[in-house]
Structure 1
Amino acid sequence: MATYVEIIRHEFPDIDSELFQYVTGVLDSSAADFESVDEIFEAIGDVLQEVSVSKNEDDVREICQKMFNTLKLTSNSSKSNVLLKAPIQLSKMTGHSDYKTEDAKGIWMMRRDLGTTVDAKKLEKAEARLKAKQEKRTEKSSQKTAGPLVLEEASASQASNKKESRLEASGKNKSYDIKIENFDVSYGDRSLLTGADLHLAYGRRYGLVGRNGLGKTTLLKMMSARSLRIPSHISILHVEQEVVGDETQALQSVLECDTVREGLLKAEKELTAKLNSGVSDGTESGRLTEIYAKLEEIEADKAPARASVILAGLGFSSKMQQQMTREFSGGWRMRLALARALFAKPDLLLLDEPTNMLDVRAILWLENYLQTWQSTILVVSHDRNFLNAVATDIVYLHSQRLETYRGDYENFVKTKEERLKNQQREYEAQQQYREHIQVFIDRFRYNANRASQVQSKLKLLEKLPELKPLEKELEVIIRFPDNFEKLSPPILQLTEVDFHYSTEHPIFINLSVSADQDSRICIVGENGAGKTTLLRILLGDLTPVQGIRHAHRNLKIGYFCQHHVDQLEMNVSSVELLALKFPGRPEEEYRHQLGGYGISGDLAVRPVASLSGGQKSRVAFAQMTMAHPNFYILDEPTNHLDMETIEALGNALQKFKGGVILVSHDERLIRMVCKELWVCGCGTVKRVDGGFDEYKDILQEQFRKEGFL
């Protein structure tokens, strides 16, 4: 293929040397920046049109297309780049060589000959456009490297209540019930809650549910920051951030949450040291006696055992409990934050998706533990089985308001459906009644004998309460494209595979597993058992130490990593994200792809960083399925998804004609998808014929043996 220099020489033989230097200088300096033929045309099109009167705009655009193809071919061939052995200093080169300064001039040094055949104003406009484009690119690049966007902040406001204020000021309010009335919550210029009420009775466990992006997490943050009025004597603990890693042991980190116990132990240590040193004022013995009495009253000696039980239930072995917090990964530090909250026993415990960082075993333990919780819990969760086990009430966030339902999640679904049916029936009955009255009014409006009756009917219409039609939430639909050919099995196989990161700790020994296009395999096991490692071996990202990985030559895997959402480019919109991953397609195609996962309208052009966790997951799904894989490997795909989307995901996987391997802790999704259950642990993978029920029975038996039940 001809170079752009040869194309210009051939197409514009009469171009003068100065303009030739200008055009080639533009193409040479900005070759990597041009993303389309339109950008090249904007930069040099006007100039080239002036050079030859025989060529119209379409002719010049076609020539620009040829040069664009050449530039792309050149930029993609990195082998053609020549590296200089040493830097060249132009000042010295021009000063100590036979080169004339004019010969070394580039676009930045050019002087324009007044006798040029090209319109100088047009040339200046072309230069200005190029300069503006380059500045815009530089600005966009600096934004991407400058760090995360500065996002809008959430805020809350609440109508004043003089009675509550007086009661709070007097110190007479001893109730641990929480009543937050007539409050608003917004995020930037978006209203999340308007005129909402929230009543939490002490000792009850509330599940907060609703679609992604409606403000559940924001509401918890406003409560924990006391931006909403909560009596000052009520202690609040919000499990939101992971524990900071330092030299503190895990067990000690949990014990330090009991500030009363820690303060008494510190005072005891100081007083004992004074007595032993002989420096005493005679009051130490009496004060020590008081401290011992208080320590006995709060059962301080039992605290280490209680903390150890909580840590063990959340998966920390005896050895791990003695490790320093800095040695744990982010997921384990989040578990440690949860352990600290459970140990501290606040009056109001706020949990945001606590099951996200837990395996099935730890989730079952947490369900059992929270069922005996004495104070109040408000938990955001999209795990319906967890809510069925834990929640005594459900708080439903929709249409910028909150509704409370008695009972667990299943009872909430039934009651809500019945309430919606009644609401629709009442609305339809009222509409019929209104129409009946309106017919009478229209018929006798101009009848003088019926004037009083018409007026009466009009007043009746005015007094009728205005019922609104039923607002149905949009159904979430997920589809995985499956227009591909059937592959002959086995399409993915591991044979006698050994794998380890270090020889002292083997992950898998003599492992043999296989999957085909009909497979619906769910993998479970404790955190650290090797589930993600197994997936990466199946993907081919990790090479077995011994054994063979076989994959069909036409196998095309779509992989959803459990940290996939965190790895998205946050400073661009969802449309721009797909354009970066799959360039060259029309914007409508990106929008259509995102719309299939509920990211449409304004959501598609907002920065990814401003989306909720569930919305980011949907963007990740849209990105994963854009390439039309014929096999999916999904690692914890339900984290952050709302229940409707999890349900839609399960239905999509059921209908998908390719193979599926799924790692999940979500019981609902496992039951919907699973045909084979693999339990990962002890250096191997075991198939459980009885499915998830048998696996739960195994775990419950372990709890009984370990004294958790």
Structure 2
Amino acid sequence: MALINIRNLGVSLSAPLFSSLSLSVASGDRIGIVAANGRGKSTLLRSIAGSFDPTAGEITRSRGLTVGHVEQNVPASLLPLSFHDAVLSALPADQAENESWRVDIVLDSLDVPEVLRTRAVSELSGGWQRLMLLARVWVSEPDALLLDEPTNHLDLAKIARLEAWLNALPRDVPVLVASHDRAFLDATTNRTLFLRPEQSPIFALPYSRARAALDEVDASEERRYQRDMKVAQQLRRQAAKLNNIGINSGSDLLTIKTKQLKQRAERLEDAAKPAHQERSAGAIRLANRGTHAKILVTLDDVQVETPDGTPLFRTGKRWICQGDRIVLLGENGAGKTRLVNLIRTAIEEPSRAPETLKATPSLVLGYSDQALAGLSDEETPLAALSRRFSLGDQRARSLLVGVGVGIDMQEKAIGRLSGGQKARLAMLVLRLKEPNFYLLDEPTNHLDIEGQEALETELLRNETSCLLVSHDRSFVRNVGDRFWLIEKRRLVEVEDPEDFFASAAAGDVG
């Protein structure tokens, strides 16, 4: 029995986000919603939640059905509250006073440590803030759950915790998830909706299998379109021949036949629809200027420490060689970012690096941190390029359009860009530096699936040398060819990341 029915739903802003969308949501449904950045995923969830009025169509819910909607942003009013009180404030006043135990049950189910429950929301990591928003919604026991990018800012352990929590939910509670995390969608969904401006196909499959099915449907439609257009072209050529013969012979029969052939061609052309072509949210391209050096970075048992000098781990004798795509694995706080920063210092300011860490002098670094801190929110995209590179105004504007930053946004503050636009801008800055070695800390943050796949393709196509940190399991599996794991205060090389992923899923990684 359907709990939520969506009929012919459409939303148009400056252009159609989606149209003629029909979807039935029943008990047991775990639906992944997939689309590029800015293509309507959040708008669809808000429409279902009732906080946004769609342009067309209707949404009906079973009588008395309550919908819990976990949005992406933390309201400013919650920041001073403790984790516990932020969740408690979601309950009606009488329940908050008499049934505060509900909060403890939800926090226990999400494995929230006691020490965090009294900490102010403003002091929590982005990952714990995300789980706080989920707890606030779930404490009111909704009948259906809507999740908007739930894995943003979550490390592997928290993603695994969230996956286990979702998979343990009562099966009568349907869940709709908008996400760019391919592995997460595969682990938690059983249906996949690909949101498109015209027809939005849905498959009774998790993401990866649904994507393969969609690609085949698109390829089949493209073949059918090309075949129909070829037949129409042949009909028009035949009609032209008959028309010439008819004119020369004065045959009325040939004139009629010519008209019929043209009409058949027109009907075919009118009915033929080209396969859907996804409009890019902005290109991602990388550069690799290359180097003659075979060994790029040498680590001679480097000791990695916290800022106050507390030892974290030792690297042993390690080398980063040309063409290596090394993924750095380890639990939060193990020292991944500290090692990345040490290598960055060795390349950019070798005099400040420890004697045990050496970078070849020919290295040109491309560095991006997960917060994209190299981009000032107050600066404009145009100024960000002009300050760093001698491009000329027209060239700079053209490059920005190419990465999805339109003319209307080029002279507005970077802080007003979407996360996806900002990430693509950061990748453009990296490319223009023409590096031969990349340090990438969570490079897929804010990138849609198209962007993730484009980044993967660029890293592989350019034979890029890089050291990267990522919680995106699909990205790690697709890109990495060497894997360094921080465990028991040592850096060790492992064959693949799967044991580490399994440890995170089992709760052995903090």
Structure 1 length as normaliser, TM-score? Answer: 0.60
CA gap 1:536/1:218 in 2 versus in 1, 3 angstroms: farther
Is 1:360 matched up with 2:156? yes
> Do structure 1's residue 388 and structure 2's residue 219 form an aligned pair?
no
- In the superposition, relative to structure 1, how do residues 511 and 566 fare at CA in structure 2: closer, same or farther (>3 Å)? closer
Indicate whether 1:254 and 2:254 are aligned.
no
Distance apart, 1:408 and its partner CA: 1.2
Per-residue CA deviation, residues 323-348 of structure 1 (Å, 9 max, x unaligned), is: 33343244432332233334444334
* Partner of residue 497, structure 2: 692
Structure-1 residue corresponding to 2:41: 216
When residues 568 and 248 of structure 1 are mapped into structure 2, their CA distance, relative to the original with a 3 A threshold, is closer
**Matched residues in 2 for 1:449 and 1:360: separation?**
74
Measure, in 1, the Cα distance between the counterparts of 2:103 and 2:128.
Answer: 21
Query: 1:512/1:217 Cα in 2 relative to 1: closer, same or farther (>3 Å)?
Result: farther
- How far apart in 2 are the matches of 1:557 and 1:586? 24
The structure where helix makes up a greater share of residues is 1
Is the contact made by 2:195 and 2:201 (CA closer than 8 Å) also made in structure 1?
Answer: yes
Which residue of structure 2 aligns with residue 240 of structure 1? 72
Letter in 2 for 1:448: D
SS at match of 1:653: helix
Among residues 363, 379, 384, which one is paired with 1:577 in the alignment?
Answer: 384
Aligned-partner Cα distance in 1 for 2:362–2:303: 23
Q: Match for residue 281 of structure 1?
A: none
Tell me which of 353, 359, 364 is aligned to 1:556: 364
- For residues 483 and 10 of structure 2, the distance between their equivalents in structure 1, rounded to whole angstroms, comes to 47
CA deviation profile, 1:529-570 (whole Å, cap 9, x unmatched): 332233223222999998754333333322101110794445
Aligned partners of 1:523 and 1:661 also within 8 Å: yes
Instruction: Name the counterpart of 2:131.
Output: 335
1:183 aligns with 2:10: yes
Q: Structure 1 residues 352 and 567, CA, compared in 2 at 3 Å: closer, same or farther?
A: farther
The alignment status of 1:206 with 2:206, answered yes or no, reads: no
**Amino acid across the alignment from 1:553:** P
State whether residues 329 and 469 of structure 2, in contact with CA within 8 Å, keep that contact through their aligned partners in structure 1. Answer: yes
Question: How far did residue 663 of structure 1 move?
Answer: 0.7
- Contact 1:355 1:363 (C-alpha < 8 Å) held by counterparts: yes
User: Which structure 2 residues correspond to residues 516-555 of structure 1 after superposition, within 5 A?
Assistant: 516-518=320-322, 519-540=324-345, 548-555=356-363
Counterpart check, 1:405 vs 2:192 = no
Unaligned runs of 5+ in 2: none
Is the Cα contact below 8 Å between 1:209 and 1:381 reproduced in 2?
yes
Distance verdict in 2 for CA 1:686–1:431, change over 3 Å = same
Instruction: Give how far 1:185 is off.
Output: 2.7
Contact 2:36/2:450 (<8 A) preserved: yes
Q: Provide the residue aligned with 1:137 in structure 2.
A: none
Q: Aligned partners of 1:632 and 1:386: how far apart in 2?
A: 26
Query: Secondary structure at the residue paired with 2:15?
Result: strand
Tell me what 1:171 maps to.
none
Shift of 1:621: 0.7
Is 1:308 equivalent to 2:108 in the alignment? Answer: yes
Q: Distance in 2 between matches of 1:340 and 1:497?
A: 42
Offset of residue 640 of structure 1: 1.5
Residue 492 to residue 407, structure 1, CA distance change in 2 (3 Å):
same
- The 2-side partners of 1:561 and 1:321 are apart by 29
1:497 aligns with 2:303: yes
Amino acid at match of 1:552: T
Correspondence 1:483 to 2:289: yes
Distance 1:432 1:698 in 2: 55
* Aligned counterpart, 1:68: none
Say which SS state the counterpart of residue 152 (structure 2) adopts: helix
Quick one: structure 1 residues 469 and 329, their matched pair in 2 at CA, closer, same or farther if it must change by over 3 Å? closer
| Length-normalised TM-score, structure 2 | 0.81
In structure 2, distance between residues paired with 1:483 and 1:301: 60
Q: Whole-Å Cα distance in 2 between the matches of residues 698 and 458 of structure 1?
A: 66
Task: Give the 5 Å matches for 1:84-163.
Answer: none
**Whole-Å separation in 1 of the counterparts to 2:2 and 2:204:** 21
Residues 219/702 of structure 1: CA separation in 2 closer, same or farther (3 Å cut): closer
1:531–1:516 CA distance, 2 compared to 1 (3 A): closer
Is the deviation greater in 687-696 or in 371-380?
A: 371-380
Map 1:629-668 onto structure 2 (within 5 A).
629-657=435-463, 659-668=465-474
Structure 2 CA distance for aligned equivalents of residues 567 and 331 of structure 1: 22
Q: Assess, with a 3 A threshold, how the Cα gap between structure 1 residues 192 and 614 changes in structure 2: closer, same or farther.
A: farther
Matches within 5 A, 1:289-300: none
How high is the sequence identity, in percent, across the aligned residues?
Answer: 23
Please give the secondary structure, in 2, of the residue aligned with 1:357: coil
Map Cα deviations across residues 31-74 of structure 1 (whole Å, 9 max, x no partner). xxxxxxxxxxxxxxxxxxxxxxxxxxxxxxxxxxxxxxxxxxxx
CA gap of 1:462–1:487, structure 2 versus 1, over 3 A, is closer
* Structure of greater relative contact order (alpha carbons < 8 Å, 6+ residues apart): 2
For 2:406 and 2:86, how far apart are their aligned partners in 1?
A: 46
In structure 2, distance between residues paired with 1:546 and 1:429: 65
Contact 1:492 1:538 in 2 (8 A): no
Residue deviations 1:651-699 (CA, integer Å, cap 9, x gap): 32234455311010111211122233233466x3432523211212333
Q: Show structure 1 runs of 5+ residues with no match.
A: 1-173, 269-294
